[in-house]
Amino acid sequence: MDKVVIFDTTLRDGEQAAGGTLNIQEKLQIARQLDNLGIDVMEAGFPASSPGDMEAVKLISKEVRRPVICGLCRAHPDDIDAAWEGIKNAAHPRIHVFLSSSDIHLLYALKKSREEILGMSREMVKRAKSYCEDIEFSPMDATRTEPSYIYKIVEAAIDAGATTVNIPDTVGYTVPGEYAALIAGIIKNVPNIKKAIVSVHCHNDLGLAVANSLAAINVGARQVECTMNGIGERAGNASMEEIVMALKTRKDFYNVTTNIDTKQIYKTSRLVSELTGFSVQPNKAVVGANAFRHESGIHQDGVIKMPITFEIMDPKDVGIPASSLVLGKLSGRHAFRERLAELGYSLGDDDLMRAFNAFKETADKKKDVTDRDIESLVAEQQRTVSEVYHLDKLQVTCGAGIPTAAVSLTAPDGRTVADAALGTGPVDALYKAINRIVGVPNKLTEFSVNSVTEGIDAIGEVLIRIESEGVTYTGRGADTDVILAGAKAYMNALNRLLSARKPSASVKSNH
């Protein structure tokens, strides 16, 4: 079978989703898990966009050695130089140059002619080629560009040294039949096309990103650009897990394979959701909470008799554990460690002890501790590893009187600092008290509470977003006490804000 190259852009296009800001260590954590997943190319970032992105790309290039590490850049000398600076220490570096090609972009954004764009494409690909052999070129907004011009610009890029040519559906405009025809036309009409891999990059504005990507693969595209959970600009990118499992489940139709270890999909999905703050919808294909749940009696009966009757994928193939092991307050550390291993977690001794202590505290409050509870507890422990301020104690009074909150925090210098505030409700009072101590101006833009599992004793997860100086920061917290969970979420968001406080300009690509 032919192999399809999986190009992951979770750390670049995925992070551009509104509110999806990641710090450098979070990017590295995701990069390492993407490496475990088996992706072939990792677009680690856009080095010219900010000093923070440059630092993250450099760190990932140094630490993650198996996959190709790619840096994105505009067709501009300074951007190309910055991209090379970011990835030059990678074991397998790639520079990815993009330049608008549609008449809409040329007229309104770049104010340049088609001939000028052709010239820029040649020169900038040549400049990138002077740094490394592996060069990718993308004509941005390709699906709204006249096909005959796409043929010319792709041919010029390959002549200049591009080894991958990517045909992006930048604004999610195309439909499967049309996109397949464009890709097939490129393969047929570009004379030097066999010197490069044809790649596709689809956005989900019409909900067709995965369908378009698969249609392109079916006519000869051999690299697909995607993100975990389909996160990204606007409605997101093509979802990696959906593409990979479609190719695996229907290998009889597509006759291609990938290098992805599908048993790592569920763990990767949970990690990306946790760190970006974007919850996975219950009915999300492959990784949603309901993806393998059956409510209909007919379906339940069929699955009990033979799973293949109503399940086209085995949950274990995407890393969802199937076990009858039930944990409770009498369970020991060995059983807890075994369950963590089944869920895909491998913790060091210190992290294991912290997670186990949190598990025992939770088990005292509820009879049975589910897999989702355990995942929530592990995530909660990881959130507290690198804090600027630490939440020590809180006391909240509410009801018919005036809601009041008192808070005690450990400051960066080790001092214990306490304050109190009044509010319109317990959460408002709590956040005001914390703000009086931390003193960082911010605006709360989103606050949501969800139950991790069913039952009155369930763990509550709070997700919040705060905005400061035009940048959004996400925070999450979990506890059986939702007010305490809200405090943890706010501290998580504030700590991310404080850690990211570096002056930098930001340049984003919608490619």
Contact 93, 129 (CB under 8 A): no
- Average pLDDT, stretch 393-404? 89
Report the pLDDT value the prediction gives residue 294, as an integer from 0 to 100.
53
Residue type, 148: S
Which of the 8 DSSP states describes residue 230?
G
Q: What is the dihedral of CA 13, 15, 19, 24, to 10 degrees?
A: -160
Report the pLDDT value the prediction gives residue 296, as an integer from 0 to 100.
53
At 302, the pLDDT band (50, 70, 90 cuts) reads low
Whether 78 shows a pLDDT value over 70: the answer reads yes
**Which residue shows structure tokens 């291609």?**
256
Read off the pTM: 0.83
Looking at 3.20.20.70, 3.20.10.10, 3.20.20.80, 3.40.50.720, the CATH number of the domain 2-276 comes to 3.20.20.70
Whether 148 shows a pLDDT value over 90: the answer reads yes
| pLDDT tens for each residue of 360-377 | 888 887 777 877 788 877
DSSP 3-state of 200: strand
Report the pLDDT value the prediction gives residue 385, as an integer from 0 to 100.
56
Tell me the percentage of the chain whose pLDDT exceeds 90: 65
**If you count DSSP H runs as helices and E runs as strands, how many of each does the chain have, helices first?**
17, 16
| pLDDT tens for each residue of 1-11 | 799 999 999 99
Looking at 3.30.160.270, 3.40.50.2300, 3.40.50.300, 1.10.565.10, the CATH number of the domain 390-499 comes to 3.30.160.270
- Average pLDDT, stretch 322-328? 61
**Which residue shows structure tokens 């290039």?**
61
